[in-house]
Structure 1
Amino acid sequence: MKKILCVIALLALTSYSFGQKNKELSMNEETGLIEAVYFHDNGQISQKGTFNLERKLHGEWISFNEQGDKIAQGSYDNGLRTGTWLFWQGETIKEVKYENNTVASVNGVKSKDRLVKNDH
């Protein structure tokens, strides 16, 4: 039964995205999550992350600009932002902490020697 629901959910997401050629979806049988990768028009990855079977964002999500540089990284829990998110803006890194999908605190660091590496 669970497998049937997974297939139905995957088909629903696939048909929903049929008109949008700039994304890829796949089911991760091990985690039970749908893995998604979205692309900019130039082919670079725009966002990647996972959905649960209720089609809510769940797990780590990473966003990239059109040049492929990471601009945001954080986690969702059943559709709600949670924990520490990082946002890169030039030489500035903003650390935003979320509690119950609400911003709890914001810290910014401006540094040539970044404290958090911005790798792909």
Structure 2
Amino acid sequence: MKLIINIFIVLFSITAFSQEQKVDYKKVDNDLVQATYYFADNSTIIEREGFFNKEGKLHNTWISYDLQGNKTVIANYNNGEKDGVWTYFKNDKINIVTYKENKIINVEEKALVVN
């Protein structure tokens, strides 16, 4: 019985970690590295992209996408902290959240009008 359980655990572990997420890194200058992450099950579709500073912290603008390539979030970081305007895109609305030093200072919700 222990053998069967051990085999099950090994097989589960292999399948759980078999899909690696593709990531491309590109040095922009001495202080920034651009990172592009692709969906694990489709290495040609971008999941999110943005920048790391020289300390390896999230910095500047990060954009997340859905499987169809639509933007889902536009985020801003300053040295690893949420800072500035974040825009969340939903089906029929846009949520705009403003951060200052990792704290929310304002939240707005707007209807999405497509012409």
TM-score bracket, normalised by the shorter chain, equals 0.7 to 0.9
Instruction: After TM superposition, give the deviation of residue 74 of structure 1 in Å.
Output: 2.0
Secondary structure at the counterpart of residue 57 of structure 2: coil
Q: Which residue of 2 aligns with 1:113?
A: 114
Confirm or deny: 8 A CA contact 2:57 2:79 kept in the other structure. yes
Q: Which residue of 2 aligns with 1:32?
A: 31
Once the two structures are superposed, residues 66-113 of structure 1 have per-residue CA deviations (whole angstroms, 9 ceiling, x without a partner) of: 111000002100000101110001111000000110111111111323
TM (norm. structure 2) is 0.75
- The CA distance in 1 between the partners of 2:91 and 2:21, in whole Å, is 30
When Rg is computed on C-alpha atoms for both structures, the one with the higher figure is: 2
Q: What amino acid is the match of 2:103?
A: T
Unaligned runs of 5+ in 1: 1-18, 115-120
Spell out structure 1 runs of 4+ moving beyond 3 A: none
Q: Which residue of 2 aligns with 1:99?
A: 100
TM (norm. structure 1) is 0.72
1:66/1:109 Cα in 2 relative to 1: closer, same or farther (>3 Å)?
A: same
Identical counterparts, % of pairs: 31
Equivalent residue runs for 1:1-120 within 5 Å: 20-29=20-29, 32-40=31-39, 41-42=41-42, 43-113=44-114
Q: What amino acid is the match of 1:95?
A: I
Q: Which has the higher strand share?
A: 2
RMSD: 1.8
Q: How many residues align structurally?
A: 95
